[in-house]
Structure 1
Amino acid sequence: MADITPSVLSNSIMAKFYDVLTNGDATVPKSPDNFLSFVTPGVAVTADDFRFLTQGLSGVVTPAAAQTLLAATNPAPAAGAASSTGTSAASAPAPAPQGLTDAQLSQLRAQDTQGVYQAAEAFARMVDFIPDVASLDGKQLATLAIQTDNGTLSEVYELTLTMSQIMESVIPDDEKAKIDHLRSLLTTTTKTTDLISGAEVDVIGASPMVIAYNTKMTAYDNAALAYNSARINALAGNDPQSVEYFAINAPILRNLVTAAMSDWVTTGYKNQYEEIAAYIAQVEGRDLSLLLAAYKDDLAKAKLTGISSGSDFYYTGATPGDFYQAPGWSTFHFSETDFASYSNNSFSATGWSAHASAGFFGIGASGGASGSKSQAQYSGNFSTKYCRMSFEIMQVALTRAWFKTSFLNSKTWRFDPGNPDVKNNLLSDGGMPPAGLMPAYPTSMIVVRNLMLDFGDNSGFRSFMEQQKSSAQGGSASFSLGPFSLGGGASHSSSSSSSSSSDGYSWTDQGLSVPGMQVVGYRCHVLPKSPNPSPDIKTWI
């Protein structure tokens, strides 16, 4: 077995990872207009970061918060109560605890409301970006590069709605009423209290039909992911067990994909949702003024104000909301038998391709005490005989009820030619790779958990790990293999906010174990040429 550098090893792992997530066959067709961008290192997340997805933006009294307040106000009873519960802050709302006044319960609800608002803001800002694909090369395809010169996804979309012209046309009143009815099936409006102004505001979100559609779509994607993973392992032909597994279980795996598609159609409203979307898209070719006004209204209703930042953000959800405890996680394996198949691989997306940047994908560490930052790169070699990696993976769909892709793809709008600031703008020029204000946008995030890494009896890597454990005791430190965070702290920042978290790990003779969840990348959709107005349109408004 050959000795390899960490960058070569990481390139091989990512090649298989990309292969599993993007390649297809007759059972799971490959999508021609999607690609992956990886976060390096992965962002550590917890279940509590996503509690707002199922709880909403209204605070509740959690058992942990109630016990903490009881312990502060009445230590003796709280000691006994604490020993019998042990529930987490992310648990379901508890009955009103004995001994807490109405004022104290209101205080706890207010604190929890602040917490879910802050979590919703952090998540919305984390996924409110435009991937940079204009200068796509191996490094940028493998790692997340954000296009920052034109603003965030929501800012560019808001500019588009504000500065666009649409085809002038009139439709009958009965069809206008039908549009209103169909749109009411796709969105739902709830009322919440703005913590800054205290006013009651409407918050627009996805309707039960859209939630069911996205949930079943996610289930189908994960069934397809499991099929792809088994098929790729069998095609590699290096592991007899993988070949036998696919040979025996391929019909079952295909049936799971077929069943997931059937479930998507029957209980996920697939046909109904897509018929509604198609009808609205058809109507856009006749009168966009009504829809454009509604789209602007949807965007305004989704706008919330950050408690800490004081700046606005647009509510963004994820489906399924309880993905962290939902079934459907697939298992990814990489071992020495996969190295030969993926050691010299390339990625491709929508007609352009490039080799992965091996130099970027090394094993390294960053961090330091007293707020200073430093980086260290492990430069030793590994034997491919001792290389095993596994983790669970799930793709989680991002839901933005305010983001109307049917409008962006319509041929009945353009930027105002009379405005010198936007008259030459393009969201996407349709090139390969595309360029513009919004050449692509993220549609789902890739989450992994229970990561296991074993390099066997490698003295160099063992020394590196011991060094990182020692340095971590003196301050914040983290280290990673490509997009996979292997321990320590992780952070995310944007122009409006920043956050940090830590994921625990354990290092033993059996290898490295990182049980927590981490966001390692995003599936992104490439926008075709937009705007691409029809030359037959003569009158614009």
Structure 2
Amino acid sequence: MAFPLNDLGSALTGQIYQSILGGGDGKVAPDPNTFFTWCMPGLPFSESDLDFCGAGIFSAKDAETQNERLMHAYQLSALLDFVPDVGAAYTSDKQQGMYKPDAEKHLSEMYHQILKFSKVVDYPLTPEQQAKLDKFRGLLWEKKTVKDLITDEEKETVEPSAVMRAYTGALGKYNDAVIEYNTKRVAAAGATGPEGKAASADWALNQQNYYLKVKAAADEWTSAGYRNEVDQMNAYISQTTERSMIMWKQSLLERFQLALISTPEVAIPFPYTTLVPGNIATSGGWTRIGISHKTDNWSKESEATSWKAGGGVNFGLFRFDAKGGRDSSSYQENHQVSEFSMTFEMAQAVIVRAGFYPEFFANRGWMLRKGEGWTFDDLPSDGQQPPHGSFVGYATQAVFVRNVEIKSRDFVSAYRDTKSKVTAGGGVGWGPWCLNADYSHESHKENFTSTEDGETLNVDGMQIIGFVNHLLGKAPNPLEDIPEEQFA
């Protein structure tokens, strides 16, 4: 029996969605303020592209290595500097667009504009309140003086404190445990035939153990990751600054500037952005996921969100050029394949933006007035489902896959035919998976290639296939009892 490419792709993305966001059994419910954005196609990465995430930039042994890490930091920052669209996938033209001055909204610039032109409540704080705010900010973020290896010039930057590093590190472990729990449940729910017995038995016998791992990770996040303390400090900052936000807003603007760095090659400041864990390319927190054509019917019955987010995923084989343009091949979503199976490893990394403080959006002591600095057509977010606005949310996690293996004679034949039509510098993708492409790396190009033997297609490289995003809610959303004249 043959199956359309689109049905197979929908089954697979549905499995990934539930593995990451949860839902279905009431144990790990999906966050209603979270949505997923697929990449179209995946974004290739080499291990060296993320070297600065684990080793840092200024710890480099020499100027050459430091400059390489700076360029890698610039590339990752540019890639992640986007405002997600709830109604569309993160397509190849948008990926390339992040590097262009005329691109769609840059997250850092929109955040800066919102901070700069917001009107905030101007009630003075007591000395005790101000001292407590300063203490909490110092516990969450710390200023650090670094020396440039080339010029010996000292520069002050803002980095996550030890408390925040412990918080985000424990959060990453919790996310890994949740992914494993959801993946095992999804595999058991979609298991069919003799080969599905192991997944079903594994869930029946070990479900409680997997859940205990989630609980243990949550407990570790609380006990060693300062979960309650960080949440309480952020809550205090939010509650206190609802009355007086002038100094807080100024400090956020200063920290935004302190988080900007630049490279010798690109003399334009960019917001420092990194990933946790920094060693994701070599870490052990990867989960193996598999699907076959027999799980297709299950995916059609799986739960869906109340509104469609991150849509537009095309599951026909397509070709695209190095500049991000994409042309559909003759193998569209309804192309039939038989005896299809796919396996890969998946992991997710928390995105850390040193100069970005999203708690500002949850605060109810600020507003924007059109024409008074704010010249965009829309306010940040109307808070609806789905939301509408110029800044409805931001990416919190990047989802990586590697070691992709597809077993299907029909699929491999279609891929081979599509690849033969690709000119130099082009590539081939299927849904959110990049199967073959050239991509920019420093001052040269690197190949992201796959191998096939007529029945099996192997893609060994690492790539980002999507992002987990957080919705802001209504922003701005000032308290109704604050007089208009109190905003300055």
TM-score, scaled to structure 2: 0.89
Which residue pairs with 1:5 in the alignment?
Answer: 4
Separation in 1, partners of 2:10, 2:152? 52
Alignment of 1:59-458 (within 5 A): 60-61=60-61, 109-133=62-86, 136=87, 140=88, 151-193=105-147, 199-238=153-192, 239-343=196-300, 347-348=304-305, 351-353=306-308, 357=312, 360-367=314-321, 376-378=329-331, 381-384=335-338, 386-416=339-369, 419=372, 421-422=374-375, 425-455=378-408, 457-458=409-410
Deviations 1:241-283 (A, max 9, x none): 2211100110110111111111111111111111111111111
Task: Name the SS for the 2:281 alignment partner.
Answer: helix
Give the partner amino acid of 2:47: A
Give the partner amino acid of 2:307: W
The change in CA–CA distance for 1:57 and 1:243 in structure 2 (over 3 A counts) is same
Are 1:26 and 2:48 counterparts?
no
Which residue pairs with 1:475 in the alignment?
Answer: 424
Paired residues of 2:92 and 2:325 also in contact (CA < 8 A): no
Q: What do you get for the CA RMSD once the two structures are aligned? A: 3.0
Identity of aligned residues (%): 25
| Number of aligned residues | 475
Paired residues of 1:365 and 1:377 also in contact (CA < 8 A): no
Separation in 2, partners of 1:144, 1:219? 31
Which residue pairs with 1:40 in the alignment?
Answer: 40
Deviations 1:506-530 (A, max 9, x none): 2125511112110111111111010
Give the partner amino acid of 2:297: A
Separation in 2, partners of 1:502, 1:424? 41
Deviations 1:98-124 (A, max 9, x none): xxxxxxxxxxx1111110110001101
Which residue pairs with 1:94 in the alignment?
Answer: none
Give how far 1:59 is off: 5.7
Task: Name the SS for the 2:213 alignment partner.
Answer: helix
Separation in 1, partners of 2:288, 2:37? 20
Separation in 1, partners of 2:347, 2:125? 44
Separation in 2, partners of 1:371, 1:264? 40
Give how far 1:343 is off: 4.6
Paired residues of 2:318 and 2:326 also in contact (CA < 8 A): no
Task: Name the SS for the 2:10 alignment partner.
Answer: helix
Deviations 1:456-508 (A, max 9, x none): x43xx444444466567x7334212211112232469xxxx999643232212
Task: Name the SS for the 2:397 alignment partner.
Answer: strand
Which residue pairs with 1:529 in the alignment?
Answer: 474
Separation in 2, partners of 1:45, 1:159? 31
Task: Name the SS for the 1:352 alignment partner.
Answer: coil
Paired residues of 1:366 and 1:376 also in contact (CA < 8 A): no
Give how far 1:418 is off: 6.6
Task: Name the SS for the 2:105 alignment partner.
Answer: coil
Separation in 1, partners of 2:390, 2:376? 13
Separation in 2, partners of 1:405, 1:430? 15
Deviations 1:108-164 (A, max 9, x none): x1111110110001101100000122xx2xxx2586895987631110110111101
Which residue pairs with 1:16 in the alignment?
Answer: 15
Task: Name the SS for the 2:187 alignment partner.
Answer: helix
Q: Which has the larger radius of gyration?
A: 1
Separation in 1, partners of 2:103, 2:355? 23
Paired residues of 1:416 and 1:423 also in contact (CA < 8 A): no
Paired residues of 2:346 and 2:401 also in contact (CA < 8 A): yes
Which residue pairs with 1:88 in the alignment?
Answer: none
Separation in 1, partners of 2:198, 2:125? 62
The change in CA–CA distance for 1:18 and 1:280 in structure 2 (over 3 A counts) is same
Paired residues of 2:84 and 2:393 also in contact (CA < 8 A): yes
Paired residues of 2:167 and 2:227 also in contact (CA < 8 A): yes
TM-score, scaled to structure 1: 0.80
Are 1:518 and 2:463 counterparts?
yes
Paired residues of 1:302 and 1:402 also in contact (CA < 8 A): yes
Give how far 1:285 is off: 1.7
The change in CA–CA distance for 1:245 and 1:442 in structure 2 (over 3 A counts) is same
Unaligned runs of 5+ in 1: 62-108
Give how far 1:176 is off: 1.3
The change in CA–CA distance for 1:383 and 1:162 in structure 2 (over 3 A counts) is closer
